[in-house]
Structure 1
Amino acid sequence: MSAVTYPSAWHAAMDFAVAHGVDTVFGLPDDDLVPLRALEGTELRMVLCRDQRAAAFMAAGHALAAGRTALCVIGKGPAAANVVGGLLEARCSGAPMVVLASGTGARTRGSGAFQELDQLAMIAPVVKWAHRVDHPDRVVPAIERAFLVAANGAPGPVYLELPADLLDVEVVRDRPWHQPRAQHPQPDTEALAGSLVALRAARRPVILVGGGMRHRNGGGEVERLAERLGAPIFATASGRGAVDETHPLFCGLAGLYAAEEMLPLWAETDLVVALGSRLEETAVYRPGFSAPDVPVLQVNLEPVDISHERPGHVVIGDGLAAVRSWLTDLPERAARPELLERAELPAPTNEWSERAQAANRAAAERVATERQRVAELPGIHIADLLRVLDEVLPERRVLVQENGLQDMWSYFYPHWRVPAAADSIVPSEQTSLGFGAIAAAGVKLAVPGSAVVAFVGDGAFGKLGADLEVLVEQELGVLFVVLDNGGYGWLQAQLDKAGPSRYRFAGSPHGTGADRPGVHHAVVDDKTRLDKELRQAAAACAAGRVAVVEIPVRLDDVPADLTETEGEHS
């Protein structure tokens, strides 16, 4: 091929993005505006954010929903500082993204230049790879490497700095772009053989699906493994959306979010099969997890993500590859055509499978009873709100969640189910306040054909701030269901346990201030209006409008499963 000459490093980066299949860029560029000039003439969609953290959250949401690398563009100095929180969330969520940042040029570095900052030192601890390009000859390979690292191994964010002295220096590419793709390394055969022995020996196994299995279970292989083993399926919070939660063996979330009906299963299991989970604190919180001496068979792409707190086999490699290998070697103890069609489970293959299904039914009956009870009470209760949302939204929908006191209703099985056609985006163990509210914009761009609902508290919604206007400008039809308790409910709950205090984190609902041009807005405090108002909001979103439905809620409307632990975990 003949050489291609770009007027700047940013032009080369945007050309690579187009060639790599990137369709959207999130960010807030430096005041030199070269990144925007580099976007001219391309079909890339630029989402100009008001805040760099919002840009990173949106990019992370886009990456998690789409399953491919997202691109974010920022300036230097305070812009780089602002993006750190978003990079931290992306790293812990396993969201593949590349952040391209401006930086102080080599000729003025160390001279007290405007907005000079050692950005690499600040950002390196929270990304997979951080690099500064100081010569035009290094631009092409650095860009290719950034996207390769972001997508491979455990996916995550990469930071690439393009200093000011590359703004007006030509970059030459004398070869075709190398197109890095996400590869899924096969586990070691000896490790698989050892794990297979453990699976065959287990009589009461449990499968735990983590965020590392997102976009790695499209064929329902995990559910088939559960059927073969007669094993209940649990998910971590970040693992939601990786399995079909309407499957009869799905038993909800593990650890802190485990339903009471599932605790006997965790107490009696003799093997936990953990797929793509770091076994973070909330996932292994007792009693919603096995005893410390029960072996855990862990499968992860990265050795650093293996927990060494528990005994058991370790398999380094792709979780889907491991599951497929096991399916090849395990007997089909429960395979029938109607099972694979998810119509129903056949007669239980063993007592353990029967107990898991019984626990599933018992949990569903308890929640149905609770929903019926609150439906007859005055006022709107969150359990009832989730029921109405489930009825109003189409099957193709994504629930984007937060991790506050009352939006956690959606974590507890089975107040919100994720069927095969749906998805759920949940904050990582970092639970950055506002992540779900802001990431919903990126999610909507990744799955434009799905209804996207951000189920958030008023404190989290407030973090969206001026970037609500960005959603309006971009015609992103996201439905925000805002639970308004007047502040930060979780902190207020902890404060109340300590006795009277002159401080307040939450109280009377105070409104979101979302009543502005371009936003479909409603405050609903009458349950007889709930169905109608949510349907109108969903219709507005389908037409490309942002909708905000505020629900005033009480601080004592807390999931029963959480009340015994909320004072122990913060």
Structure 2
Amino acid sequence: MKVNAWQQVVAALEAEGIPFVFGLPGGAKHLYDALYDARHVRPVLVRHETSGAFMAMAYARVSGQVGCCFGCPGPGVANLVPGILEAYSGCIPVLALGVRASTRIQGMGAFQEADHVGMMTPITKWAVTVERPDRVAWTIRRAISIATTGKPGPVYVEIPADIALEEVEPTPYQPADRSVRPGPDLERIEAALDLIEQAKRPVLVGGGGAVLARATAEVEAFADALGIPVLVTPAGRGIISEEHPLFCGSVGLYRTEFPKAVYQEADLLITVGSRMEEFQSGVWHYFPEGARFIQIDIDPFELGRNWVPDVAIQSDAALALDALLRGATRRGLRADMARVEELRARRAEAIARAAEDAQDNSSPLKGKRIVHSINRVFGDNTILVLENGAQDLWAYYWPYYQVKDAGCVVPPAEQTVMGLGVVGAIGAKLARPDRQVVCTTGDGAFQMGMHEIVTAVQENAPVTWVVFNDGALGWPRWTQRTALGGRVIATEFTATVDLVAVARAAGCWATRVERAEDLDAALQAAREANQAGRPAVVDVAVDPTEHHQGFYEFHRVR
């Protein structure tokens, strides 16, 4: 039986084990007609195409699978761009599908004609037009292979409208081989081991590449065997449980006092799958004085991109750490238990100090109070989905919030597109329906994504959004006040939205919190609503003037 290109695409998605296409339909016969007959892949109808890309990115981060989204010609594909840009920045494997104007009228001023490939080429690993219907299977397999091999990232595949509906004999589909992983140069492993053997205070910084490599077991084994403290970038959160006794917090803008001390006193810095970009490195000022540097990254382009390593290792993160551990075992290297015990004591003190600091019951509520309560009320088995605003930034500051389970964080990438976390929470829940999902967001970012809370209702994806509401775009307003001598313009919402009314109208459970003594009960009610199958919104009036010391330190060096 002959099939058209979209039927071949759907067959390929099923063969690849991709269960969702996030998007919205256009032409009746393009993709969605083929999805109607699919057995193992279904569409998730979003309210805006950008949301489809956000959900696909979050789904991929949590599941370890490829996320898939779709855009109609012209503005539909253009609306995918913010999400694909974020996925490219975060090295997340996303397959974006699109329709192009028919080959018969391309270039003649066709309806919604646009250069989609031109838009997507700078922000994908591969952007391609399928020129023949018998090339669909090859193209999808090639796209999946490119998206998942080496440094992961998004790809874009479009099919001209006439080509897409031309029927041909189906080409047998062979799923992409995703197990290709580059191993390390053993001479460089030995050079790195020399530095580790000489070091007295080594630290390991795990980045997003370690998470994408699913290197949790390798990071834990390496840290435990050698007694090396583990710090993370925002993208690296979730590489191990933050309750692990050698987990010591975050770096850069996101560091608190104890992580800062552990990092700055290091005599050897080992980064695994991190580019140590501007926010992670403190504008490249936060390098431990006099320390040596081992950089492990799967992408040769990233090696020595800013800080120049003493030893650069191009490798999959898990394979490199496994090789280092085997080499360390062969050399008889062991943990310095005196240092391990000292770190554990200091770590316990930091946790206790943060817990005490978070018990601030003043009004408006403090961000540290909110994130600490979320952590306590929702507890284990919770995926934290992050935005990146002035007040919800507190969710980044360990140990005010501790990620209790490996793999349970969805951060924005370096582009920090507003609304990604709000919308991405739905993709995270669809990836792991067995886990609780909580998104921390400012009111500005929430308003950029709140049109999708009804999608959570539609998809039976009960998540909780906690809105840190300061009535403004808090971070830009803070920078205006700092840089412009108090002159504030276009960052305060003089007309506000009743977020509780909007949420209830969409079918969510919702409440407003203005007093600290009401917070825990509201969060508990939200959790119970989720357990009953309802998404929840907790709108919290938050103090706009409260920031962690690390926030101020970063802006002084920036």
Q: After alignment, is 408-417 or 536-545 more displaced?
A: 536-545
Q: After alignment, is 24-33 or 398-407 more displaced?
A: 24-33
- How far apart in 2 are the matches of 1:271 and 1:175? 51
The equivalent residue for 2:479 is 494
Say if 2:57 and 2:94, in contact at 8 Å, map to a contact too: yes
CA spacing shift, 1:163–1:567, aligned 2, 3 Å: farther
Q: After alignment, is 316-325 or 197-206 more displaced?
A: 197-206
The equivalent residue for 1:327 is 325
- Residue 167 of structure 1 aligns to a residue whose secondary structure is helix
Equivalent runs, 1:364-403 vs 2, <5 Å: 364-372=351-359, 374-375=360-361, 377-403=362-388
Say if 2:23 and 2:45, in contact at 8 Å, map to a contact too: yes
Q: Deviations over 1:452-483 (max 9, x none)?
A: 00110111111114222222211210100011
Question: Which of 432, 455, 463 matches 1:447?
Answer: 432
Shift of 1:523: 0.6
Say if 2:389 and 2:475, in contact at 8 Å, map to a contact too: yes
The equivalent residue for 1:10 is 6
The equivalent residue for 1:549 is 538
Equivalent runs, 1:221-240 vs 2, <5 Å: 221-240=218-237
Say if 1:275 and 1:299, in contact at 8 Å, map to a contact too: yes
Say if 1:402 and 1:460, in contact at 8 Å, map to a contact too: yes
Structure 1 position 356 matched with structure 2 position 343:
yes
- Residue 148 of structure 1 aligns to a residue whose secondary structure is helix
The equivalent residue for 2:517 is 528
Question: Which of 82, 98, 106 matches 2:79?
Answer: 82
- Residue 330 of structure 1 aligns to a residue whose secondary structure is helix
Question: Which of 312, 315, 323 matches 2:313?
Answer: 315
The equivalent residue for 2:35 is 39
Shift of 1:129: 0.5
Structure 1 position 122 matched with structure 2 position 119:
yes
Q: Deviations over 1:527-567 (max 9, x none)?
A: 22222221111111122211111001121122233233346
The one-letter code of the counterpart of 2:337 is T
Say if 1:5 and 1:171, in contact at 8 Å, map to a contact too: yes
- How far apart in 2 are the matches of 1:327 and 1:281? 30
The one-letter code of the counterpart of 1:349 is M
Structure 1 position 414 matched with structure 2 position 402:
no
Shift of 1:211: 0.4
The equivalent residue for 1:110 is 107
Root-mean-square deviation (Å): 2.1
- How far apart in 2 are the matches of 1:427 and 1:170? 41
Shift of 1:292: 7.1
Say if 1:266 and 1:287, in contact at 8 Å, map to a contact too: no
The one-letter code of the counterpart of 1:21 is G
- Residue 149 of structure 1 aligns to a residue whose secondary structure is helix
CA spacing shift, 1:220–1:167, aligned 2, 3 Å: closer
Shift of 1:293: 5.8
The one-letter code of the counterpart of 2:94 is M
The equivalent residue for 2:491 is 505
- How far apart in 2 are the matches of 1:130 and 1:31? 22
Q: After alignment, is 170-179 or 149-158 more displaced?
A: 170-179
CA spacing shift, 1:17–1:409, aligned 2, 3 Å: same
CA spacing shift, 1:445–1:265, aligned 2, 3 Å: same
CA spacing shift, 1:215–1:411, aligned 2, 3 Å: same
Shift of 1:246: 0.8
- How far apart in 2 are the matches of 1:432 and 1:480? 17
Structure 1 position 467 matched with structure 2 position 465:
no
- How far apart in 2 are the matches of 1:568 and 1:314? 27
CA spacing shift, 1:187–1:422, aligned 2, 3 Å: closer
The one-letter code of the counterpart of 2:323 is S
Say if 2:355 and 2:372, in contact at 8 Å, map to a contact too: no
State the aligned residue count: 550
- How far apart in 1 are the matches of 2:283 and 2:73? 44
Q: Deviations over 1:147-204 (max 9, x none)?
A: 1111111111000011111232013334342443243222222222222222222222
- Residue 476 of structure 1 aligns to a residue whose secondary structure is coil
Equivalent runs, 1:479-490 vs 2, <5 Å: 479-490=464-475
- How far apart in 2 are the matches of 1:207 and 1:135? 49
CA spacing shift, 1:333–1:187, aligned 2, 3 Å: closer
Say if 2:295 and 2:309, in contact at 8 Å, map to a contact too: no
Say if 1:396 and 1:421, in contact at 8 Å, map to a contact too: no
The equivalent residue for 1:30 is 26
In the alignment, structure 2 segments of 5+ residues that lack a partner are none
- Residue 169 of structure 2 aligns to a residue whose secondary structure is strand
Say if 2:231 and 2:259, in contact at 8 Å, map to a contact too: no
- How far apart in 1 are the matches of 2:455 and 2:557? 38
CA spacing shift, 1:439–1:542, aligned 2, 3 Å: same
Say if 2:127 and 2:155, in contact at 8 Å, map to a contact too: yes
Shift of 1:317: 1.3
Shift of 1:102: 0.4
Shift of 1:304: 1.6
CA spacing shift, 1:470–1:219, aligned 2, 3 Å: closer
Structure 1 position 133 matched with structure 2 position 121:
no
CA spacing shift, 1:271–1:126, aligned 2, 3 Å: same
- How far apart in 1 are the matches of 2:532 and 2:513? 21
- Residue 121 of structure 2 aligns to a residue whose secondary structure is helix
Shift of 1:407: 0.7
Shift of 1:133: 0.7
Q: After alignment, is 264-273 or 118-127 more displaced?
A: 264-273
Q: Provide TM-score, normalisation by structure 1.
A: 0.91
Question: Which of 390, 393, 397 matches 1:405?
Answer: 390
- How far apart in 2 are the matches of 1:365 and 1:175? 60
The equivalent residue for 2:547 is 558
Equivalent runs, 1:260-279 vs 2, <5 Å: 260-279=257-276
Say if 1:96 and 1:157, in contact at 8 Å, map to a contact too: yes
Q: Deviations over 1:231-272 (max 9, x none)?
A: 221100111111121112211111121212333333332211
The one-letter code of the counterpart of 1:189 is L
- How far apart in 2 are the matches of 1:539 and 1:151? 37
CA spacing shift, 1:295–1:334, aligned 2, 3 Å: closer
The equivalent residue for 1:301 is 298
